[in-house]
Amino acid sequence: MKLWLTVTCILGCLGGGFTLYSAISVGSSGLATMSTALQQISPALTAYSTALNTARTSVYVILNDLMGYMNITYTAINKTWAVNQTEYLQNVLQQIGYFNQSIGYGDQSVSSQVIQNLYSMNYGLQSNIDNMMSYYNSLVSQMYSTTAENCTLRNATQMANVPVSLAKYATCLQLDTAAVTQYLPSVLNMFAYSKTELISQIAQLKNCSSYSATCQNAYFQQIYSEVSNTLSSLSSAHAFLSGAFYEAGQRDQFCGQLIEADIQDSIQNLTNAFSLCSWPPSN
């Protein structure tokens, strides 16, 4: 294709009638640069996806273990003490039911935030690509004179390199990947500590003798409050995750806005340079 265009240009340009080759060449080189930039984004997106999947798997392994412990342990306690501690045990079991539901809500919240983040980044990427394609199309529409072609040739390298900025989207993803890796241990520790708290709370029942109703009553009155506090801390962990992804989304949007502004300025500067070259100010 390029060889054919070169031959055509040689034949046409000799007579001064064909002036499209330089614009087509710039556009073609620009598309190649765009392809290279998008290929650089792909590994970053894969790494981000891997980090998210690893985090989700790790979180759910420890959450499933925690939920299993709570359900089995408190089911056994309810079986043994339900007759004497109806009110307090019902409240505790109800709280555990709420926690099981909140796990699903927490997952939905985090997942929807991740989807929104990626959607926003894809939208920004597409918007920039559309702007570049519009710019390259405008070059072709201006190829009506030898002067215009000469101006395009003079700025060809800069024009073709405009899509280089697209690769900066990979940096946004790399920062988010690093963030997931950094805060995951903290979240896992929060969940693990909650199980430690629950184990300690259950162990306190052993301090009551089987004949001490006063001790047992005091235990079950207090355990509701302690379990509530533990489940609140678990909800805080979910809120932390959701907030972390929300902040990541805000960073991504800001990153995309900066890239878009950078690309717009590059195009505007080249447009100005082309205009001055084609229509230089008179002395």
pLDDT, tens digit (0-9, with 9 covering 90-100), for 44-57? 989 988 888 888 88
* pTM tops 0.85, yes or no: no
pLDDT of res. 262? 94
pLDDT of res. 20? 63
In a domain, 16, yes or no: yes
Looking at the structure of the chain, the number of domains it has is 1
pLDDT of res. 132? 92
Say how far apart CA 172 and CA 162 lie, in whole Å: 19
CA distances from 64 to 67, 142, 181, 244, 257 (A): 5, 64, 21, 22, 40
In a domain, 241, yes or no: yes
pLDDT of res. 162? 93
For helices 169-203 and 213-278, give the axis angle rounded to 10 degrees.
Answer: 180
In a domain, 30, yes or no: yes
Cβ atoms of 190 and 170 within 8 Å: the answer is: no
Q: Which domain, by its residues, includes 233?
A: 2-278
What residues contact residue 86 under an 8 Å CB cut-off, 6+ apart?
none
Tokens (6 digits) for 54: 């690893």
In a domain, 283, yes or no: no
In a domain, 48, yes or no: yes
Give the single-character DSSP code of 167.
G
User: How far separated are the first and last CA of the chain, in Å rounded?
Assistant: 42
pLDDT of res. 194? 83
In a domain, 86, yes or no: yes
Please tell me the chain's helix, strand, coil percentages from 3-state DSSP, rounded to the nearest 5. 90, 0, 10
pLDDT of res. 281? 59
Burial of 261 (0-12, 13-18, 19+ CB in 10 A): exposed
Letter string b/e over residues 126-140, b meaning 16 or more CB atoms within 10 A of that residue's CB: eebbeebeebbeebe
Residues of the chain scoring pLDDT < 70: 1-20, 144, 280-283
